A and B are shown apart, each in its own frame.
Chain A
Amino acid sequence: MNKRADTSNLLFQSSEWNFNTLYRTYDAIKEIAIDELGLDVYPNQLEIISSEQMLDAYSSNGMPLIYRHWSFGKHFVYEEHHYRKGHRGLAYELVINSNPCITYLMEENTMSMQTLVTAHAAFGHNHFFKNNYLFKQWTDADAILNYMEFAKGYIARCEEKYGLAAVEPIIDAAHALMEQAVFRYNRPPRNSPLKERERVRDRLEYEERAFSDLWRTLPQRKADEDPTETERDLSERKKTLNLPEENLLYFIEKNSIILEPWQREILRIVRVVAQYFYPQRQTKVMNEGCATFVHYTIMNMMFDKGQLSEGNLLEMLHSHSNVVFQPGFDDPRFSGLNPYALGFAMMQDIERICTKPTAEDRDWFPEFAGNGDWRGTLLDAWANHRDESFILQYLSPALIRKFRLFALEDETKENHYRVASIHNERGYERIRSTLARSYDIGVNQPNIQVVDVDFRGNRHLHLQHTVRDGIVLDEHTRSATLRHVRRLWGYDVSLVGVEAGSEKTLYETSSSKLAE
């Protein structure tokens, strides 16, 4: 019964860490992660940092380096204030999707915590980054750090050459469009940093070579054309410009007439950063679920092998249960579904369904219920899903009951909510699809696209917002953002809200109507 009296296997005993114990523990974790869980990871680089450095990392989107801009300063000031006041603690770790995968460990962590976060970040997140299809397809872990270095240097050089006052508004405007600066469907080509620099040079050279003052003097086209021709013209234009275009920043970068080459390059940099973070935003539940499941499994296995003492395990479990705590909706601590809690519970649930399925599970998940191979099933899920599809596919009735999930309808005009479904036979499907939909960024973010641009006339840029479920844009930020678009485009920009399905125009606004 008491097999644990033997302490010879223990990796460490004191709570202080040093580099020797870190190495030893890392190797032990790696053995379990690779050999027993079958994880596949980028080489790891673990960096010990202090709390100030963690704050710095926070305010630069978690990147080790980023170009300079006041908005990062704003973030920093905000984070610093809350940290100093004790409103919130700092993360124990931070991990960067790069190759090698960089993990920041806080120096204040005890050795148990270092063990936990190494398993969590250096193996859980790392495996997810390397294997999930979204990351594989959309991000370039090999190049990102080099690219950020290039971006930082490039923008600094621009500031030197053209002045801060010229560069800052461009970045402001680009940041305003960051949400609309990602390709959701087609993959952007990948470039190495060297090619990247070559491309910049070529672009500059071309612009210089192709400049001809004569173009200005070309005669304007006559206005008296028959409507059919205008119609044809429009469709032709849409074809050549690849309209409609969902990536506003991309469109402006390629087609705005007023931008200098360096300004286009800055837009491109912001766009690349937005695209890089896009997969992370779509896989929060999965990513955290995967990492939490990995660290939980690894720490238990280590304990079973006698590598961790009971005290260490308890300390880890304590912070583990803090992380996966999910208060109810009416709890004052409630702030939405906790992605760690939901993700971890789902991963555990999958393990349960694979090994000890109930009749209900066999009913709902005939493909893998009782197949016994929970490792394979999880690896497969981690590789091939994002939050939305993952929840749609794997959220089990058992888990819905466990979380006591219910769906609430909120019609703005009504002065009450309606309970649309609860955790019963009739409600499972609805709850599952509603929850999945709430993790679909494509649905939740306003869908704004470039639909037309009048290059021959007044160069008016037409944007269209497809309004779903009657959710329109906040007018204040809409105007402010539109002004930013106007700044980048240089000519009038109009935004039309069209109701999905009925094609009814709900609102119409134009930069010319906004007070500057």
Chain B
Amino acid sequence: MPNFIDRRLNPKDKSLSNRQRFLRRARVELKRVINEKISTEKITDVDAGHAISLPVSGTSEPSFSPDRGTGRREYVLPGNREFVLGDRLPKPGAGGGAGAGKGGAADIELEDDFRFVLSREEVLDLFFEDLELPDMVKSSLKEAIAFKPRRAGFTTAGAPTNINVGRSMRNSFGRRIALRRPKQADLDAIADEIAVLEAEAKPSAVSSERLAGLRRDLEVLQRRRKLVAYIDPVDIRFNRFEPMPVPNANAVMFCLMDVSGSMGEREKDLAKRFFVLLHLFLKRRYERIDIVFIRHTHQAHEVDEETFFHSTQSGGTVVSTALEEMRHIIEERYPSRDWNIYAAQASDGDNLTGDSENCVNLLNNELMKLCQYYAYVEILDERESAIFRSTDNGTSLWRSYRLVGKNWRNFQMTRIAKPGDIYPVFHQLFAKQPKTAKSG
């Protein structure tokens, strides 16, 4: 008799834990591949929820296996059409041919061409693994601007709303036992007995004596009850609250970008990539973070995310307008008392003559005092990058900003020329900082 069993409802993900073990094992390799991929390919693809496939060679399972490039072999193959004994066939070049197709071909493929899909979550996790916003918590925690009451034990004084009933009743109960407060039931019992005795038509001498005694007892008990209160003010306990300083974790990120004519498609693309990456990173890392997008030509506007990344505008370049706009927004909506303020600016370095000084003044005198961190990314021409990468020379904006950089430790500037540069720069800007740096 056959035994049919319907297993379809059995648990499915039997291999889940093995899959996780594998991913953990392949972690280093995966990270490398993802970083490479994101720095060279379209960055928006990551955010679009695409899964990406990865070749993995880091998790090989070695065994003693014959070297294909040595020795003498003999194959038997089907489908001979015109060959006769002794024919010579040229070997195909690299890439394998009829001979290599024999048997082992599938194994080779498995090793070299191992591809599979990671979910978007898994990719981003790996990608942002060792990045951190610098000094997320305000270093001036000692100032402790915000407090939050937190429960801390009990107290004997307080507002009626804070009475802790359980605790109070416990005290009352203990006191009542200690002072032997008569119970209502005892009183009732005596009262009942008195009532019975009083009801007798002809009370005997014994019972009337008893009645008098009972009345006396009842009086004593009633007096005692009055003296020992059910709840006494000494019983009352209140919940105690202690004000605890709360770290100020409100953060706002300003993204400033030059969208003027001098920013070509390539420059804009690079800047966008930088911001997309930044955006992804922030969205992922921090639940509560405001992001403000400011784009500027000769005038600056706060725009929404969509416009910032996707629409175009024409005009000249006055960088200080963007800084001015940022200052304005901070004053209006993000008082630095309550907010950690971060800013990232991308530009090709072009600026209206003389405006760079304005920018420096604005930064030095106002913005840098308010900002937790300021990153400036300059997009270079590919040809310039070789010249300018390591020198102090550069556009007027770059030279001026260098002055700011000297004054403020939390001002960072860097230059990028091609998509591949972005990730390292990003990594450098947001690398996890050693604890000591925080005190600065």
List residues of A whose CB falls within 8 A of some B CB: 19, 22-23, 26-27, 30, 43-50, 52-53, 55-56, 59-60, 68-74, 76-78, 80-81, 84, 100, 104, 107, 122, 172, 175-180, 326-331, 334-337, 403-412, 414-424, 426-427, 431, 434-435, 437-438, 444-446, 448, 465, 467-478, 480-481, 484
Contact = CB atoms under 8 A, between A and B. Distances in A.
Shortest beta-carbon contacts, A-B, top 6:
A328-B79, A73-B22, A471-B71, A73-B18, A480-B62, A470-B71
Given A176-B63, A472-B71, 10 more contacts: A70-B18, A74-B59, A74-B114, A78-B110, A80-B116, A335-B105, A337-B78, A410-B73, A410-B75, A426-B85
B166 interface: no
A403 B87 CA distance: 19
B5 A70 contact: no
21 contacts: A53-B7, A53-B8, A60-B15, A71-B22, A78-B116, A107-B8, A172-B61, A337-B78, A410-B73, A410-B74, A410-B75, A417-B89, A417-B99, A418-B87, A438-B75, A445-B66, A469-B72, A471-B66, A473-B64, A477-B62, A478-B64
B81 interface: yes
B48 interface: no
Contacts of B66: 444-446, 471-474
A44 B3 CA distance: 6
Given A421-B85, A470-B71, A446 B64 contact: yes
Interface in B1-50: 2-8, 10, 12-15, 17-26
A467 to B, nearest CB: 8
Contacts of A81: 53, 115-117
B102 interface: yes
Contacts, number: 263
A177 B63 contact: yes
A418 B115 CA distance: 36
A69 B17 CA distance: 9
A46 to B, nearest CB: 5
Nearest to B69: A412
Contacts of B105: 335-336
B90 A335 contact: no
B21 A19 contact: no
B10 to A, nearest CB: 7
A59 B8 CA distance: 18
A406 B71 contact: no
Interface residues of B, number: 67
Nearest to A70: B21
Contacts of A434: 74-76
Contacts of B89: 408, 416-419
Contacts of B87: 418-419
B365 interface: no
Nearest to B60: A480
B355 to A, nearest CB: 54
Nearest to B68: A474
Name which of A71, A410, A423 has the most chain B CB atoms within 10 A of its CB: A410
Contacts of B73: 409-410, 469, 471
Contacts of A468: 71
A435 B76 contact: yes
Given A48-B6, A53-B8, A69-B21, A408 B74 contact: yes
Contacts of B439: none
B13 to A, nearest CB: 8
Interface of B: 2-8, 10, 12-15, 17-26, 53, 59-81, 83-91, 98-99, 101-103, 105-106, 110, 114-117
A372 to B, nearest CB: 30
A472 B71 CA distance: 7
Given A335-B101, A336-B101, A477 B64 contact: yes
A60 B19 CA distance: 12
A465 B64 CA distance: 10
Nearest to B99: A410
Given A68-B17, A73-B15, A469-B73, A329 B79 contact: yes
Nearest to A446: B64
A80 B319 CA distance: 52
B247 to A, nearest CB: 36
A416 B76 contact: no
A422 B101 contact: no
Name which of B8, B15, B65, B115 has the most chain A CB atoms within 10 A of its CB: B15
A470 B72 contact: yes
A410 B8 CA distance: 49
Nearest to B73: A410
Given A70-B24, A406-B80, A408-B89, A176 B61 contact: yes
B33 to A, nearest CB: 14
A464 B101 CA distance: 29
A249 to B, nearest CB: 12
Given A45-B3, A81-B116, A407 B76 contact: yes
A438 B73 CA distance: 10
B7 A48 contact: yes
Contact of B88 (A22, A404, A418): A418
A454 to B, nearest CB: 22
Contacts of B86: 418-419
B74 A420 contact: yes
A419 B83 contact: yes
Given A47-B7, A48-B4, A470 B70 contact: yes
Given A48-B6, A418-B86, A56 B12 contact: yes
A46 B3 CA distance: 6
